[in-house]
Amino acid sequence: MRESTIIKIDRINNLKNKIKKIFSNQFVRNVSTLAAGSIISQAVVVGTSPILSRLFTAESFGMLSIFTSITVFFAVVSTGRYELAIGLPRDEKKAYSLLKLILVIGLIISSSYFIVIFCLKNIFLINDSMGFLNNSTAYLAPFYIFLIAFYSGLGYILQRQKKYKIITIANAVQVISASLGSIAFGFLNIKQGLIYSLILGMFFAIIFVLKHTPEVLKGGFDFKEIKQNAIDYIDFPRYMIFSDLSLTASQQFIPILFSTLFSASIVGFYSMANRMIRLPNIVITSAVGNVFRNDAIEEIRLKGNCRTLYLSTLRKLIFISIPIYSLVFLFSPLLFTFFLGIQWKESGIYARILSIMLMFEFVSTPLSTIFYIQNKQKLFAKIQFINAFFGAVCIFLGNILMNSPIGSLCFYVANSVIFNLVLIYYSYKFSYDD
């Protein structure tokens, strides 16, 4: 009996030591820090969704999805993709100058968008089938695009400085303030409240980051230095704008295409499904990708490759993704009906289909940062363009052959799985080959 007790104590001590060893690993600690904030943020999203699903209609969620898709797509241009270069210079001052370059580009691009929207609405009187221009919130799109550019640049500064705790809290501030704002607007019966709260959440997150990193804007704007940085890192806008526009299109064009093929309510059902089951991707892959990129840069500088880090990260991602999305596939229709109400059952069916794609995307997304590190932006741009093109074709093909949004979604998911496998293949290859 005594020997049995001693053996159990030894096993417990061994388990404690293993857990302690895991969390003493710098990579795991950094990922955990970033993931913790995302978990809190997404817990708020999930927790408030049953409330919001009863305060707002599927059409309101559809309009939010269309607004988000359009602004996120055009926000790619608003930074010139110079935020991807922030982690490269050794000099901190040069990194701050890149942030100021992003602000200048963002202001110019956002102002241009406002003029275009004003002309389309008031001069050419365009009545788009999506309903985007028909709403007064269209005028808020340029402002939100500028906020996205600013927040993106600040995020990369924080990643460069490995201030993961501030990133974590800022993301939590963004989501929590947006969720609370949505509930308040919902009780006030403001139809566009989801869009208003989205903008407020981003604004509060930027204020929080600036309060904790005021040095990033000190020293004013040295336009000579800003211009030189724009020239030094010209490859990022030259190759990455096209690439990331293609990637963003492949991720965001479903609400836009669905709004032209189907109703705003269908877009709302898709939006809710995407909002709920992307939680593991938002919580884990962004955290892993941010840490993997920084660690890979350091490992390549020291060893000339990051194959060991790559394989270790790949195994972790596969190990996590399979059980998570298997459960989503099996139970999503039941869970959506139970938590959101019977009117959202169709969202659960969409979630089941999307879970197949997201299982592969969960693995490929963090590892694809190797394209940026190894200066393979041109190839990445081509792959993204091909994916976006065939993704759009698949949506229309599914609608033609099956005459339903589910058919379009199935064809789109099949294309996306192939695309993610291609990304995994090339990212593995580039983890060793320069």
Tell me the percentage of the chain whose pLDDT exceeds 90. 56
What predicted TM-score, i.e. pTM, was given to this entire model?
0.78
Which pLDDT belongs to residue 156?
94
Look up residue 342 and give its amino acid. Answer: I
Degrees to nearest 5, angle at CA 386 with 380 and 392: 135
195-251 pLDDT, tens digit per residue, is: 999 999 999 999 999 999 999 988 889 899 999 999 999 988 987 787 778 778 767
From 103-117, 190-204, 273-287, the region with the lowest mean pLDDT? 273-287
DSSP for 72-141 reads HHHHHHHTTTGGGGTTS-S-HHHHHHHHHHHHHHHHHHHHHHHHHHHIIIIIS----TTSSTTSGGGGGH
Query: What average pLDDT does the segment 8-25 reach?
Result: 53
pLDDT for 427: 95
**pLDDT exceeds 70 at position 44:** yes
Mean pLDDT of all residues belonging to the chain: 87
Q: Are 75 and 268 in contact (CB under 8 A)?
A: no
Least confident of 43-47, 80-84, 423-427: 43-47
pLDDT at 23: 46
In angstroms, the CA 78 to CA 241 distance is: 10
Most confident of 58-72, 79-93, 140-154, 246-260: 140-154
Question: How far is 270 from 257, CA to CA, in rounded Å?
Answer: 12
* pLDDT, tens digit, 9 for 90 and up, residues 134-176: 888 999 999 999 999 999 999 999 989 888 889 989 988 999 9
